[in-house]
Chains A and B, each alone.
Chain A
Amino acid sequence: VRNPQGMHLRPATEFARTAQSSGCRVRVSVHSGAAASAGADGSSVLELAMLGVSQGTTLRISAEGPGAAAAVGRLTDLVSNGFSESER
């Protein structure tokens, strides 16, 4: 996660919307060292917000269903582009 603000409400909303439109079952978890968190439903803004993702966090994104690989690609791009947020 590159943007300074981390995954606050607006990025979480955008992520959830993208996950929903993919039609896949998307899971997101936080990687800190060797441990991974329980994970969140990628289409739920609330669950994503509950991860408390700050800048520098590594996320693991997985998807299941038709077009899963493309969905993961789109979501990964979204995160690595800093959710298209300008520097603030």
Chain B
Amino acid sequence: VTLPATFSTFLRREHVFTDLPAGERDDVLRDMLDRLVGAGAMDQETSTTVLRAVLKRERTGTTGIGRGIAVPHCKTSAVAATLVAFARTTEPIAYGAADGDPVNSLFLIVSPPESAESHVEILKSVAGMARDDYATRVLRNTNQGDSLFDFFHEMDAKP
């Protein structure tokens, strides 16, 4: 039996960032990718490719799914395996989200082209948090990386 892939399955502690300065959406996303380069998740060239693909995706329709959460994502052959990251901005930022609320929690999903199933499963686990009052409260009020990292595992372990 293979357990379904969730957000926390793919998340590494060093890819949780809790203090991104608020700013324009594109700048915040660039900052997030730069930090992933700093954390050794990818090289500069890959991050440029990923940022371009993520912004292209945002232009086809916002990934702000509501309740302060956005799921910027892309598929690119620049990565060999699915990579996820979480970033929290110090202040909510304008994101054109579905419910009009500003966003402070960014769940980045970067997948290789042939990973259809896991993408939908990861999305499902993030959508579950957005639907959960307790989870959205935690995401709004917690800026401790360790706590958030544990929290994502706790949420994904819920039935």
Q: Which residues of B contact A10 (CB under 8 A)?
A: 60-61
CB distance B117 to A6 under 8 Å?
A: yes
Pick from A9, A51, A54, A88: contact of B117, CB below 8 A.
A54
Q: In the bound complex, how far is the Cα of B121 from the Cα of A7, in angstroms?
A: 10
- What residue in chain B is nearest A50 (Cβ atoms)? B127
Q: Which residues of B contact A88 (CB under 8 A)?
A: 75, 113
How many B residues touch A, CB cutoff 8 Å? 23
B58 to A: closest C-beta gap in Å: 11
Query: A residues near B, CB below 8 A?
Result: 4-10, 13, 45-47, 49-55, 88
CB distance B66 to A53 under 8 Å?
A: no
Given A9-B63, A10-B60, A13-B61, also A46-B131 (CB < 8 A): yes
A9 to B: closest C-beta gap in Å: 6
CB distance A49 to B60 under 8 Å?
A: no
Q: In the bound complex, how far is the Cα of B97 from the Cα of A46, in angstroms?
A: 12
Please indicate which of the listed interface residues B63, B119, B124 has the most CB atoms of chain A within 10 Å of its own CB.
Answer: B124
Given A46-B131, A52-B4, also A6-B120 (CB < 8 A): yes
Please indicate which of the listed interface residues A4, A9, A51 has the most CB atoms of chain B within 10 Å of its own CB.
Answer: A9
* B71 proximal to A (CB < 8 A): yes
Pick from A5, A45, A54: contact of B98, CB below 8 A.
A45
Given A5-B116, A8-B119, A54-B117, also A49-B124 (CB < 8 A): yes
Provide the B117-138 mask, 1 if CB < 8 A to any CB of A, else 0: 1011101101110110000000
